[in-house]
Amino acid sequence: MSFSSGRAQAEPLVALVCVAVLCTALAGYATAYDHSLPTADRDLAPSALDAATDVLLVQGVAQLDRLDDARPDISRPVNVTLSAGGRTWSVGPQPPAEADAASRPVAVRVASGDVLFGRLRVVVW
């Protein structure tokens, strides 16, 4: 029996597979742990923007007459602002500068047959 045959060795491919499995398991654990942590209160604007978009858009075009109904019913103050063609329409109290905001581009119907490119912005604080 030679001196080296008494030592435990692993094939390089098997060792690489074991390292890959370990890394995948660690990444899965880290992801699950991250999702289990409570989210901050500052994450309300994206969901409020989704809710406002669902109410405001009809066939992909924002309707100005639905702006009053676009404020989501949550326990925090919300401002919904729609701007297009240099004009701005807003519903809700004036937001502070440090408030959580989210926005997205939308098509805005400003008159019958007149659709402009605009932006919908929702601020929650």
Percent of the chain exceeding pLDDT 70 equals 90
Contacts of 87 (CB under 8 A, 6+ apart): 110
69 in the same domain as 22: no
Q: Characterize the bridge pairing of strands 114-124 and 57-58.
A: unpaired
- For residue 84, give the nearest of 56, 62, 51 by alpha carbon: 62
Report the pLDDT value the prediction gives residue 41, as an integer from 0 to 100: 56
Residues 80 and 21: their CA atoms lie apart, in Å, by: 48
pLDDT at 10 over 80: no
Rounded (5°) CA angle 82-96-99: 80
In a shared domain, residues 54 and 104: yes
Looking at the structure of the chain, the number of domains it has is 2
From 116, 111, 58, 113, select the one nearest 82 (Cα to Cα).
Answer: 116
pLDDT band at 6 (very low <50, low <70, confident <90, very high): low
Residue type at 3 in one-letter notation:
F
Q: Same domain, yes or no, for 46 and 63?
A: yes
User: Is residue 55 located within the same domain as residue 22?
Assistant: no
In this structure, the answer to whether residues 29 and 45 fall within a common structural domain is no
What value does the mean pLDDT take over residues 47-70? 92
Closest CA to 123 of 106, 99, 104: 99
**Containing domain of residue 86, as a range?**
41-124
Question: Same structural domain for residues 115 and 82?
Answer: yes
